[in-house]
Amino acid sequence: MGNFSAKEANSDERILKIAETIDEFESYRHPHAARIAVLTDTLAQKFNLGLYDRYSLRQAALVHDIGEAVMNREYIKNNRKLYDDEYLDLQRHPVIGEQEAAKRGLNRTVQLLVRWHHEWWNGFGYPDALMHEQIPLVARILRVADTYSALTDKRPYRSAVSSAEARRRLSEWAGIEFDPKVVKAFLSLEGLKELESYSEQLRITNYEKNAVS
């Protein structure tokens, strides 16, 4: 594994503060963006990506939803599914995020990753309806890691699912939403605390409390 420079590490610290603000706005109870950064970097190594791509991917993972925070829509925090007009409005956030990444001096690769983190393998994603290899590998990696992390954490409108259920959903949507090669690589990951579902952690904590009482 290659090492990042001190300058890059300091940049990550700056971006981490932005990531924490975004997580708080999206009502994540646990670090979401930082968790994705670890998962994406681990996947990037499996695909033998270079240090520049890994660094850009880590930064994009940390700020991928900055567009949502800047838009500051209350419906994102509501305990219900989005209405059609709200969903259409929300689809603007990758483009706004790209612009915000540029304003903060992040490199062009990071900007495009933020723009394309909702593109689908079958071309039904947004904002550009890219498909298959038109979507850069780093963006396909980010899509899978973001989805897994979101599924295994509690959101205002649903509970966290187990790691087994999240893996099942990734497999089910491979070839539709996700690049099958990236899903296969993701499912081979093991031993990372970032892979643990918060629903499972909560269950273990409750069990331990009951055992003591």
Q: Rounded distance, CA 176 to CA 139, Å?
A: 15
pLDDT in tens, 60-92: 999 999 999 999 999 988 888 899 999 999 999
Asked whether residue 103 is domain-assigned, the answer is yes
- Helices marked H in 47-177: 51-63, 66-71, 84-90, 93-103, 108-116, 137-151, 163-173
Copy the structure tokens of residue 94.
């990758």
Instruction: Give the domain range for residue 77.
Output: 6-208
119 with 128: CB under 8 angstroms? yes
Please name the helix (run of DSSP H) or strand (run of DSSP E) that holds residue 82, with its range, or none: none
How is residue 69 annotated by DSSP? H
**Omega prior to 94 cis, within 30 of 0:** no
pLDDT of residue 156: 78
The burial of 7, by beta-carbon neighbours within 10 Å (0-12 exposed, 13-18 middle, 19 or more buried), is given as: exposed
> Is pTM, for the whole model, over 0.85?
yes
Q: What is the pLDDT of residue 21?
A: 94
Residue 32 to residues 41, 46, 115, 186: CA-CA distances in angstroms? Answer: 14, 22, 18, 17
Domain-embedded: residue 11: yes
Higher-pLDDT residue of 58 and 81 is: 58
Residue 213 is assigned to a structural domain of this protein: no
Residue at 1 is within a domain? no
Residue at 86 is within a domain: yes
Q: Would you say residue 74 lies in a domain?
A: yes
The Cα 68–Cα 90 span in angstroms is 7
Residue 102 domain flag: yes
Span 143-166, average pLDDT: 94
pLDDT tens, 32-55? 999 999 999 999 999 999 999 999
Contact of 103 with 66, CB cutoff 8 Å: no
Which tens digit of pLDDT belongs to each residue from 156-211?
788 899 999 999 999 999 999 999 999 999 999 999 999 999 987 655 444 344 44
The total domain count for the chain is: 1
Does some domain include residue 72? yes
CATH number at 197 reads: 1.10.3210.10
